[in-house]
């Protein structure tokens, strides 16, 4: 009897496994890799995790730009992965309301709270309208330019001068990290922590942001049940996430409390002067928290500040780091940038150009677009379908299907950029009339696409150009021998081991 029951159980398990296997084969009609029993396609991904971005690019090119990834059985790691611009346009614009971030996305990105990056529907619309009104205020634009100008003039260039005088090697990514952190603190909080100084002080909050972002990437490549268990047990990467969130929340909530005291004192004094044009102050004055009472408003402010920090710090650090690596390793491009600066401004003694001045630099703009094409700060975008749909590529989308856009891979896709897609070629962005070429956002998606296009796109270009022209005007940047530019594994595309360089002063 026991033997019979054993055979029956084994038969049932075998039938179930075979049925499940063929069901997965039926559902996954366009697999990117071999779908192993139990483990799905995860082994392929884990074997190539050390070169994740380039591996995904190669596989997608082999499959015409779109395919399906299935994770281990009974997990939610099933994705439709695409770099087809028509699919991007369909999801991000034409059928915008059918594709959302979704609850699973918010769970993975839980550190972002209900901020603009994770929100959907009315919550997203409220956040976007609010930030749009703040960014477009003339007083804020003036404040932003003044803040950047002062930081470049009084901190960035003096630190680089010190490095040059010492003849030492410097991690330019670390310099930009500190620069953007000080900048975003000034812009969002109205307070400069002076992390960019010659003694390079350790910044705990910066480390916490990096830990949180790396954990979010980790949550994309391991089954949800695994990272949930790690979170419950407080071990591994999830332990780092928990510790990082404590540091981040303590920092942000203390800033909010301090700002409330400042505003209270200011209102009591009523001097009539114009102060406090930083974003946190403006958000508080709007008085539009998501609930009633100060505690609810503090949660809203906390989420807003966190999202602004990620948008205004890490993305700019990434963009500047990869730009300088590309320019340093392409001397002809560097020469053309300097030639354009000389043509436009001659022997201008100004060390930092204004926002209006940098907008005149067409070749520099092309070089930056080209850098963002090859190394987009946010390497992938995630969407979830609400209703069944069919993409322009012919791939069927079921309700709750998760779609991944690989922005890094899109920048290297020959179908979009031609046979020379792997070349750093600023000229592709310049017209015959010496103006900048417009490329639709569903092809050049570094700043997202459709209704969710980045609100800070224009200000980001201004900041990058002000920094780039100030450094290139004064210094030649040389990458030290042995420094390998390798992307890290995170939701923001930074260099894994930093950008080690030496500086040479230009002859005046």
- Under 8 Å between Cβ of 407 and 376: yes
Q: State the DSSP string of 150-212.
A: HHIIIIIHHHHHHHHHHT--EEHHHHHHHHHHHHHIIIIIS------STT----HHHHHHHHH
Helix (H) or strand (E) holding 410: helix 407-410
CATH no. for 32-505: 1.10.630.10
Contact predicate 413/422, CB 8 Å: no
Q: What is the pLDDT of residue 463?
A: 94
**Residue 360 CA neighbour count, 13 Å, CB half:** 10
CB 479 within 8 A of CB 325: yes
Token code pair at residue 230: 């790690």
Q: What pLDDT is stored for residue 14 in this prediction?
A: 45
CA distance 379 to 174: 20
254: part of which helix (H) or strand (E)? helix 236-269
pLDDT at 387: 93
Q: What confidence score (pLDDT) does residue 507 get?
A: 76
- Coil/strand/helix, residue 378: coil
CB 195 within 8 A of CB 178: yes
Give the C-alpha separation, 320 to 180, whole Å: 10
Q: What is the pLDDT of residue 379?
A: 92
Q: Which residues contact 172 (CB under 8 A, 6 or more apart)?
A: 321, 324, 477, 498, 499, 500, 501
Sign of the four-CA dihedral 149, 453, 102, 64: negative
Residue that the structure tokens 């909080």 belong to: 189
Distance CA 402, CA 350 (A): 50
**Residues 436, 427 contacting (CB under 8 angstroms):** no
The C-alpha atoms of residue 27 and residue 402 are separated, in whole angstroms, by 14
> Rounded distance, CA 185 to CA 305, Å?
10
Measured torsion, CA atoms of residues 58, 62, 63, 67, in degrees rounded to the nearest 10 = -20
Distance CA 337, CA 188 (A): 32
- The pLDDT value recorded for residue 314 is 87
Q: Where are the domains of the chain?
A: 32-505
What is the number of H-type helices and E-type strands within the chain? 21, 10
For residues 240 and 432, what is the distance between their CA atoms, to the nearest angstrom? 52
What integer pLDDT is reported at residue 15 of this predicted model? 43
Residues paired with 79 in a beta bridge: 69, 402
Chain segment 76-119, per-residue pLDDT in tens: 678 899 999 999 999 999 999 999 998 888 998 998 988 898 99
Instruction: With both helix axes pointing from N to C terminus, report the angle between 236-269 and 279-286 in degrees, rounded to the nearest 10.
Output: 70
Q: Would you say 278 and 309 are in contact if contact means Cβ atoms under 8 Å apart? A: no
Position 9 scores a pLDDT of 46
List the beta strands (DSSP E) in 250-329.
none
* CA-to-CA separations, 61 to 323, 397, 406, in angstroms, rounded: 25, 21, 12
**Which is it for strands 66-70 and 78-82: parallel, antiparallel or unpaired?**
antiparallel
Which bin fits 505, alpha (ψ -120 to 50), beta or left (φ > 0)? beta
pLDDT along the chain (508 residues), means of 10: 49 44 48 67 76 88 87 74 95 95 89 90 90 87 92 96 94 95 91 89 84 86 86 92 92 89 68 64 70 67 90 92 97 96 81 91 97 95 93 90 92 94 96 90 93 92 96 95 89 93 88
Give the pair of three-digit tokens for residue 44. 């392929």
Q: Which residues of 100-122 are buried (b: 16+ CB within 10 A; e: fewer)?
A: bbbeebbebbbbbbbbbbbbbee
What's the pLDDT score for residue 104? 86
* Separation between Cα atoms, residue 403 and residue 88, nearest integer Å: 10
- Which residue do the tokens 């075998």 mark? 14
Tell whether 454 is in a known binding site: yes
Question: Could you tell me whether strands 78-82 and 402-406 are parallel, antiparallel, or unpaired per DSSP bridges?
Answer: parallel
Name beta bridge partners: 99.
385
pTM for the whole thing?
0.88
**3-state SS track over 428-465:** HHECCCCCECCCCCCCCCCCCCHHHCCCCHHHHHHHHH
Q: What is the pLDDT of residue 343?
A: 92
Q: What is the pLDDT of residue 31?
A: 63
**Main-chain phi, psi angles of 492, to 5 degrees:** -120, 135
Task: Walk across the sheet containing 99-100 and list its strands.
Answer: 66-70, 78-82, 402-406, 380-385, 99-100
Element (H, E) at 345: helix 331-345
Query: Which pLDDT value is given to residue 293?
Result: 53
């Amino acid at each position: 009897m026991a033997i019979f029951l054993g055979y029956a159980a084994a038969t049932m398990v075998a039938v179930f496994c075979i049925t499940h296997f063929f069901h997965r084969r039926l559902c996954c009609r366009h697999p990117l890799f071999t779908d192993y029993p139990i483990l799905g396609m995860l082994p392929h991904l884990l074997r190539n995790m050390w070169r994740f971005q380039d591996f995904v690019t190669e596989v997608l090119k082999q499959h015409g730009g779109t395919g399906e990834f299935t994770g281990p059985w009974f997990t939610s790691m099933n994705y439709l992965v695409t770099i087809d611009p028509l699919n991007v346009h369909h999801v991000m614009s034409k059928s915008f309301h059918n594709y959302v971030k979704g609850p699973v996305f918010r769970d993975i990105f839980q550190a972002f709270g209900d901020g603009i990056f994770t929100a959907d529907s009315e919550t997203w619309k409220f956040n976007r309208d609010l930030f749009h009104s703040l960014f477009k205020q003339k007083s804020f634009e003036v404040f932003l330019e003044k803040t950047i100008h002062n930081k470049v003039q009084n901190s960035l260039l003096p630190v680089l001068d010190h490095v040059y005088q010492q003849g030492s090697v410097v991690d330019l990514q670390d310099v930009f990290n500190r620069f953007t952190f000080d900048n975003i603190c000034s812009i969002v909080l109205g307070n400069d922590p002076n992390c960019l100084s010659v003694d390079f002080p350790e910044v705990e909050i910066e480390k916490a942001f990096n830990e949180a972002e790396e954990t979010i990437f980790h949550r994309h490549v391991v089954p949800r049940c695994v990272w949930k268990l790690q979170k419950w047990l407080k071990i591994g990467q999830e332990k780092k996430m928990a510790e990082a969130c404590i540091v981040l929340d303590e920092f942000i909530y203390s800033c909010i409390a301090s700002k409330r005291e400042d505003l209270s004192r200011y209102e009591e004094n009523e001097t009539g002067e114009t102060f406090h044009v930083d974003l946190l102050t403006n958000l508080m004055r709007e008085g539009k928290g998501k609930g009633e009472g100060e505690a609810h408003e503090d949660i809203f402010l906390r989420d807003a500040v966190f999202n602004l920090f990620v948008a205004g710090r890490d993305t700019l650090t990434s963009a500047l780091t990869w730009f300088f690596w590309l320019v340093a390793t392409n001397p002809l491009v560097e020469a053309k940038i300097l030639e354009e600066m000389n043509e436009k401004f001659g022997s201008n003694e100004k060390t930092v150009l204004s926002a209006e001045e940098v907008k005149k630099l067409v070749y520099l703009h092309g070089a930056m677009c080209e850098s963002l094409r090859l190394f987009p700060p946010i390497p992938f975008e995630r969407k979830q379908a609400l209703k069944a749909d069919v993409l322009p590529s012919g791939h069927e989308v079921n309700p709750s299907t998760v779609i991944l856009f690989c922005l890094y891979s899109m920048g290297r896709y020959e179908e979009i950029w031609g046979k020379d897609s792997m070349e750093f070629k600023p000229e592709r962005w310049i017209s015959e009339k010496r103006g900048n070429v417009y490329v639709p956002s569903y092809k050049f998606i570094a700043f997202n696409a459709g209704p969710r296009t980045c609100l800070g796109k224009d200000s980001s270009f201004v900041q990058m150009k002000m920094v780039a022209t100030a450094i290139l005007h004064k210094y030649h940047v040389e990458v030290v021998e042995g420094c390998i530019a390798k992307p890290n594994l995170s939701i923001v595309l930074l260099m894994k081991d930093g950008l080690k360089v030496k500086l040479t002063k230009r002859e005046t």
